[in-house]
Amino acid sequence: MLADDDLLDALLYGDAELSEETESVSALWNVENRLLLGGGYKKNALFSAFSQEDSAFTLTEWETTVFRLGQPTDWKFLGYVLVENRHYADVDGLDNEWLGIALAQVDKLLGHGWQVGVAGQYMYLEQAFSLEFEELDLGQTNITLHQFAVTPRAEVKLTDRTTWGFRLPVTFNRFQDSDQNYDEVGIVSDLRMFLTDKLKLRLSYGYEWRDYADRLERARVGASIPGKELSWGEHQIALGVEANLDEAKRWRSKTGLRFRFVEDSGSGYNDFAMTSVIQSLTYQRDRWSIALNGSYTHYDYPVQTKEVGDTNHRYRARLGLGLDAKRKFGEAWEGLARYGFESYLSNVPDDQYDVHVFTLGLHHTF
């Protein structure tokens, strides 16, 4: 699971929110472009516990969204492209961070409340290594990833307020360090309920099987086992609750709870249990939007220990806090001010560090 999973989930499976924005659009094909220009300052850009490097950066981001609505029985299309660059002025070994996403999804409404579709996605990632990539086993501070995915899906409307669906993601991950390459296949089941006009709930369960091409299994003490490639199975349970807190829908709350349980095919050295809690509170009025976000993610490793010969099991955690303020200027311009804080906690000294990011930017939509 990668850092951008929530973004991709929102684009591919956030049907309710997308429809609210596009139902009033009359054109068959619609295109929207967004350009963000900005910059900021990042403390500890390399996510290091021992050698902190701080730097100013410039931020450039381009988004294009294409969608086709048509009649209810027509095929519907959603296309999305994102290219983001952060250029650092003074970080040894890290001049640029890149994120690129291209995805396309088609859907068709069938009879008896059924809808089927398929999505294809490509993601390119080049950035500093952080705890968000807890599945990797790297010594360097930077990673480069090419990710390809195909996801067939289907859903059925059980009642006017309840929808159940499933998807079958197949993912191929190719890293600069080929020892980390892996393929995944899985199944995810989603249940969505509009409990009231103000309260929406999403419950999902998924299972994925991961197969590494060259990464080796490890014995319980951590030594690699020659000739035995690593694979693992993962169970994931997620609960999301979205609520409008007032009649005017100025206050909105989003709460997320996610559990992951990973078991490898060997000694259990790579096993871990992850618990994640996410909370956001957004206030929107006239041209202003202010959001406060918080998250806490905890990893328990039942086999790995703090160090060789130590009986204390390893743990890692991430605390995240963020504040976003946006103001619109006319129909096409929007100013952005953002602060993000991440604190990485662990009983292993290499995994203890803090990161601060300050960002200012200006969006233009056309």
- Token pair for residue 296? 């806490």
What are the C-alpha distances in Å from 185 to residues 16, 64, 191, 210, 231?
26, 29, 20, 7, 12
- Does residue 321 have a pLDDT over 70? yes
- Average pLDDT, stretch 45-56? 91
Do residues 153 and 171 lie in contact, with contact meaning Cβ atoms separated by under 8 Å?
Answer: no
Indicate whether 167 pLDDT > 80.
yes
CA nearest 154: which of 206, 104, 116, 108? Answer: 116
- State the chain's mean pLDDT as an integer: 90
State pLDDT tens for residues 65-99. Answer: 999 877 777 889 999 999 999 999 999 888 999 99
Rounded to an integer, what distance in angstroms lies between the CA atom of residue 20 and that of residue 194? 14
- Report the percentage of the chain scoring pLDDT > 90: 73
Average pLDDT over residues 221-226: 89
pLDDT at 237: 96
3: pLDDT strictly greater than 50:
no
- State the pLDDT at residue 311: 84
pLDDT tens-place string over residues 141-161: 789 999 999 999 999 999 999
SS3 18: helix
**Confidence bin at 14 (pLDDT 50/70/90):** low
Predicted confidence (pLDDT) at residue 262 exceeds the cutoff of 80: yes
- pLDDT at res. 6: 58
SS3 category, 19: helix
Phi then psi dihedrals of residue 315, to 5 deg: -140, 155
